[in-house]
């Protein structure tokens, strides 16, 4: 049976995973920290009683996820919690339940299966780069100020690949 890794939106949206309850469901302490309203905290407490597990992500897998996120250019779009659930899904070869497109993009590059919760899943993956607003030169995803003219850079889609 597959392992499901739950993003915070699973609990914020009211745990829409009833058909998966016979499977193992894991989340991370970072996800719990993102649950700030009473409804999502209550949903999480009920999920815990139903067998949802909380595990911390492994440091070496966090490093691997960050490396892939830098390569895809999504590193600036991911929170520490996002990186943690990606690492946890990687550890368990699990299915990651999330509506977050940046998470889905990095998951695809890592070979992690994703399952959207309410949104439609991604149809294509992207690699992001940065382009100078002044001179138009293109750089990797980590360059914020153009080393040539000193202008700010903005994100652009460096490449795309269709999934369907």
Phi, then psi, of 111 in degrees rounded to 5: 80, 20
CATH superfamily of 3-115: 5'-nuclease (3.40.50.1010)
Q: What Rg value do the Cα atoms of the chain yield, rounded? A: 17
- Output the tens digit of pLDDT for each of the chain's 164 residues: 789 999 999 999 886 665 555 789 999 999 999 999 999 999 999 999 988 999 999 999 999 999 999 888 888 889 999 999 999 999 999 999 999 888 998 998 899 999 988 877 667 767 778 889 999 998 877 788 999 999 999 887 777 778 75
pTM over 0.85: no
Kindly list the domain boundaries of the chain, sorted by start residue.
3-115, 124-162
Check residue 23 and report its DSSP letter.
S
Helix (H), strand (E), coil (C) string for 31-53:
HHHHCCCHHHHHHHHHHHHCCCE
Cα gap 89→158, rounded to integer Å: 26
């Amino acid at each position: 049976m597959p392992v499901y890794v739950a993003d915070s939106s699973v609990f914020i949206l009211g745990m829409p995973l009833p058909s998966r309850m016979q499977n193992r469901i894991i989340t991370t302490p970072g996800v719990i920290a993102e649950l700030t309203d009473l409804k999502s905290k209550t949903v999480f407490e009920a999920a815990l009683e139903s067998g949802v597990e909380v595990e911390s992500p492994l440091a070496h897998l966090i490093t691997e996820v960050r490396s892939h996120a830098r390569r895809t250019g999504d590193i600036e779009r991911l929170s520490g919690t996002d990186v943690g659930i990606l690492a946890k899904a990687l550890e368990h070869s699990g299915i990651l339940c999330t509506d977050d497109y940046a998470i889905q993009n990095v998951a695809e590059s890592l070979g992690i299966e994703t399952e959207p919760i309410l949104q439609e899943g991604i149809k294509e993956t992207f690699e992001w780069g940065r382009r100078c607003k002044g001179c138009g030169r293109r750089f990797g995803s980590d360059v914020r100020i153009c080393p040539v003219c000193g202008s700010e850079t903005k994100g652009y889609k460096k490449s795309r690949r269709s999934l369907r």
